[in-house]
Amino acid sequence: MGVDAAAVAVDADWACVLTTDPITTAASGAGRLAVHVVCNDLAAMGAEPLGVLATLLFPGGVSAATIGEITAEIDATARELNVEVLGGHTEVAPGLSAPIVVMTGVGQARRDRLLTAGGARPGDALVLTKAAGLEGSHILASDFVDRLADMDSALLEEARGYAAELSVVPEARLAVELGATAMHDPTEGGIIGASWEMAEASGCGFRIEASRIVVRPATQAICAALIHADGHVEEITQLDRDEIYRLVEQRPAAE
């Protein structure tokens, strides 16, 4: 639970770190997101990302332009992160209504520097890099243009620009150097979900001051707009949040 990747010992000093993730909900920028997601997972294990392999599944009738757009995103993002596109697979699959990108990431780490979400200990400080909800804000601002039509255009453009901040590889390198005991990439479930996964994996609870979590105005505006437009979103979020709080509180606090 909460472990971002698998580590395989290569020799007494080094491990090969492997991870895989699908992009199934983003309508735009899926190639870019897929590379970032797996490289972030590798970095959260204390590994240096080396390469990626992409499995691309497309619905019937897909255009060459759509395929070219996704592959170009993968290539450009890999170049930005200085990782190799090692290979992959592309096919047209029956029953799909939209493309699916499944990315595998390969990295390496010194065995004495491997980290997992299960290394947190009482007394540790929790550190969130950048701000909460950046990836989700970027996806919603890019894919829900019609539903966010009444939102301030400057905030909407700012949220789309969060694409440039999705990588946590530099921060993870620094965290390893500074002696971090555990790391986790909160891609799914946000801060609450990641906190619960780390608490479960580490066998201890966390005390979190919500007021100290950075949530940017663009993210707040997107949430407000979508909840206002579709009231059940707030209800579902509340149910999930209460359940996660209950699970986290079952663990002793990390103090």
Lookup: tokens for 224? 């407000």
Average pLDDT of the chain is 87
Q: In sequence order, what DSSP letters do the residues of 93-136 get, joined into one string? A: -TT-SS-EEEEEEEEEEEGGG---GGG--TTPPP---S-TTHHH
What average pLDDT does this structure show over 186-194?
83
The predicted-structure confidence for 56-87, as pLDDT tens digits, reads as follows: 999 999 999 999 999 999 999 999 999 999 99
pLDDT of 4 above 80: no
pLDDT of 244 above 90: no
Q: How far apart are CA 111 and CA 114, in angstroms?
A: 5
The predicted-structure confidence for 98-147, as pLDDT tens digits, reads as follows: 999 999 999 999 999 999 889 999 999 999 999 999 999 999 999 988 88
- Domain locations in the chain? 6-113, 117-249
pLDDT band of 55, cuts 50, 70, 90: very high
**Fold designation for 6-113:** 60s Ribosomal Protein L30; Chain: A; (3.30.1330)
- What percent of the chain stands above pLDDT 90? 67
- What percent of the chain stands above pLDDT 70? 88
Q: Give me the pLDDT at residue 255, please.
A: 41
The owner of tokens 């103090």 is 255
More confident residue, 35 or 200: 35
Q: Give me the pLDDT at residue 209, please.
A: 87
pLDDT band of 2, cuts 50, 70, 90: low
pLDDT of 232 above 60: no
Q: How far apart are CA 178 and CA 204, in angstroms?
A: 22
pLDDT of 231 above 70: no
Q: How far apart are CA 212 and CA 210, in angstroms?
A: 5
Q: Give me the pLDDT at residue 228, please.
A: 58
